[in-house]
């Protein structure tokens, strides 16, 4: 593998980002979503900063993004993290590079808390977040159904050491 670069996600990256998202959906271990949205819907539901892709040469092999947890002003410094890596690029540090950069971007934009909701069976993603200073807040039991089956999630959060709530 040549040098992997982490860059800002561009609208032209959406087909590759969507494809990687669909891979994650197909695992049944990445999200409650069952379909990837159109670009316009995805764009409207994510913050304008903290949209990243990992590139190996010209190929997008992973992505990360931030979504607001609420539209209420009091939660303006809290964002939800998504990190996805193409199946053939997993286990190579791509997810960690994306998450570390996402953390830095979030703090530069006033985010004081990042959160992630992960299926307990997704041990690699939980380990990734813990390696990046996320802590387990708790287990949300039977929070929703996926394909007719109740699923739990582990709620993880990371508080910034640099961004204050003041």
Beta partners for 155?
117, 138
**Radius of gyration in angstroms for the set of CA atoms belonging to the chain, rounded to a whole number:** 15
Q: Residue 64 belongs to what H/E stretch?
A: strand 59-68
**CA–CA separation, 80 and 57 (whole Å):** 28
Determine, yes or no, domain membership for 154: yes
Judge whether 86 lies within some domain: yes
Model confidence over 16-35: pLDDT tens digits? 999 999 999 999 999 999 99
The average pLDDT across 49-56 equals 97
Percent helix, strand, coil in the chain, to 5, is 30, 35, 35
Task: Tell me which residue of 52, 163, 48 sits closest to 111, measured CA to CA.
Answer: 163
pLDDT at 143: 97
- Each residue of 81-138: pLDDT tens digit? 999 999 999 999 999 999 999 999 999 999 999 999 999 999 999 999 999 999 999 9
146 has pLDDT over 90: yes
The string of pLDDT tens digits covering residues 40-52 is: 999 999 999 999 9
Q: Is residue 165 part of a domain?
A: no
Confidence (pLDDT) at 94: 97
The CATH code of the domain that includes 75 is 3.40.630.30
Q: What whole-number distance in Å separates Cα of residue 6 and Cα of residue 4?
A: 7
**164 inside domain:** no
Cα–Cα distance measured from residue 30 to residue 21, given in angstroms and rounded to the nearest whole number: 9
Kindly state whether residue 166 falls inside one of the protein's structural domains: no
- Mean local confidence (pLDDT), 136-146: 97
- Banded pLDDT at 3 (limits 50, 70, 90): confident
Q: How many domains does the chain have?
A: 1
Residue 146 falls within a domain, yes or no?
Answer: yes
Confidence of residue 1 (pLDDT cuts 50, 70, 90): very low
Counted residue by residue, the chain has a size of 166
Residue 97 maps to a domain? yes
- Residues 71-87, mean pLDDT to the nearest whole number: 96
Mean per-residue pLDDT, 5-13: 97
pLDDT bin (cut points 50, 70, 90) of residue 166 is: low
**What residues contact 147, with CB distance under 8 A and at least 6 apart?**
28, 34
Residues of the domain holding 63? 4-159
Query: In terms of Cα–Cα distance, which of 127, 48, 32, 47 is closest to 80?
Result: 47
């Amino acid at each position: 593998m040549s040098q992997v670069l982490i860059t800002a996600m561009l609208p032209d990256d959406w087909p590759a980002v969507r494809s990687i998202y669909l891979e994650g959906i197909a695992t049944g271990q990445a999200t409650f979503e069952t379909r990837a949205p159109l670009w316009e819907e995805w764009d409207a539901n994510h913050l304008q900063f903290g949209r990243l892709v990992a590139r190996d040469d010209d190929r997008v092999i992973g992505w990360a993004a931030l979504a607001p947890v609420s539209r209420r002003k009091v939660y303006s410094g809290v964002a939800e993290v998504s990190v996805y890596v193409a199946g053939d690029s997993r286990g190579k540090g791509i997810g960690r590079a994306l998450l570390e950069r996402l953390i830095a971007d979030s703090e530069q934009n006033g985010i004081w808390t990042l959160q992630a909701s992960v299926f307990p069976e997704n041990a690699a993603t939980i380990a990734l977040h813990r390696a990046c200073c996320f802590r387990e807040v708790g287990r949300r039991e039977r929070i929703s159904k996926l394909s007719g089956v109740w699923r739990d999630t582990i709620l993880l959060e990371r508080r910034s050491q640099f961004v204050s709530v003041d």
